[in-house]
Amino acid sequence: MMIRFTTLILLIFSILLSPAFADQQATAIIKAAIDYWRDQSSYSVSQMTIHRSDWQRTMTIRLWTRGMKDSLVRVIHPKKDKGNATLTKNDRMWMFSPKTSRVIKIPSSMMNQGWMGSDFSNNEVAKADNLLKYYTHTLKNITNRNGQKVFTIEAVPYDYAPVVWGKEVLKVRADYIVLEHAFYDQDNILVKKLETLEIKRMGGKLIATVQRMQKAETPEEWTEIRVKEAKFKIKVSRRTFTLSNLRNPRF
C-alpha cells in the first residue's frame, strides 16, 4: 500500500514538473492577465502621449470592452482627432474617420499597424486576445519582485498566425498585472517593449495605470498611456459594439 502511495506521489510530481504542465500553466496565466483587465466588461478613460524626437502630441481616449471579443476605442480630444474610433467585434475590426465620414474594415494584415500613429498596434489598443488565439506559451522563469512572484512567459506564434512578430515575451505578476511585454521580429531581435511604470487601485482593483511602449532602436520614441478612470463589471449595451454606433455614437 505504501509503495502504491509513493508511486502516486511521484506521478503527481512528474506531471507538475513536466513541460506540458508548465505550458498549460503559462497559457492559463496569459488568459488570466487578459481576463483581469477586460473582466466581464470595462470602461476606461486614458491619455495617450506619442513622443518623437521633434514633436509630441496627446490624445484622450475612451475604451469600452465586453467579454473577450468586443471593444470600442474612441478619441474625444483634441478637437482635430475627436471622433476617430475603432471597433473590434468577433475578430474583425473597423475604423471610422469623421474627416471622411467613412467606416473602413481593417484587413488582418493591418491589425498590427500603429493605431493613430502611436507605437501601439490596433490589436494592442483594443486589448485583443491574439496571444491566446495565435500563440503557444512556455513558462521560462519564475522570480520574485517586491514580495510577489513574477512569471516570464515566451509566446511563439503558430505558422499560420496573422502576426508580424517572431515571438513575444511577457513578465506577469502573480496578481496578473503585466509588468513587461517585449516584441521580437522574425530574427529574434527586440523591436519594442511595453513597461508598466505605475500601478494603482482603480475601479475596485489594482491595475497598471501608466504604461510606456518604447522602440528598441530609437528609445527617444515612445508612446505612453495613463489611465485616468476605469470601471469594471459594468453594464455595457450590446449596441455599443455596432457599426451604427461606431459612426454615430449613442453610447
Looking at residue 171, its amino acid is K
Residue 72 lies in a domain: no
Query: Please, what sign has the CA dihedral across residues 187, 190, 194, 196?
Result: positive
Residue 77 lies in a domain: no
C-alpha cell at 82: 475627436
Element (H, E) at 132: helix 130-133
Helices (H) and strands (E) in the chain, counts: 5, 13
Q: Is residue 182 part of a domain?
A: yes
Evaluate whether residue 214 is within a structural domain.
yes
- Which of 128, 107, 130, 126 lies closest to 61, judged by CA? 126
**238 lies in some domain:** no
* pLDDT (tens digit per residue) in 8-67: 443 433 444 444 555 899 999 999 998 998 888 999 999 999 999 899 999 999 999 998
Mean pLDDT of 66-77: 92
User: C-alpha grid cell for residue 50?
Assistant: 506619442
Boundaries of domain holding 123: 2-62+119-233
Q: Does some domain include residue 31?
A: yes
Amino acid at 120: F
Look at residue 96 and tell me if it is in a domain.
no
Look up the pTM and report it: 0.86
Q: How many domains does the chain have?
A: 1
Residue 14 belongs to a domain with what CATH number? 2.50.20.10
Written as nine digits, the cell of 45 is 478613460
Structural domain contains residue 240: no
Residue 110, SS3 per DSSP:
helix
Q: Which three cell numbers stand for residue 23?
A: 505550458
Distances (CA, A) of 76 to 56, 97, 122, 140, 168: 18, 13, 17, 41, 31
Residue 91 pLDDT: 78
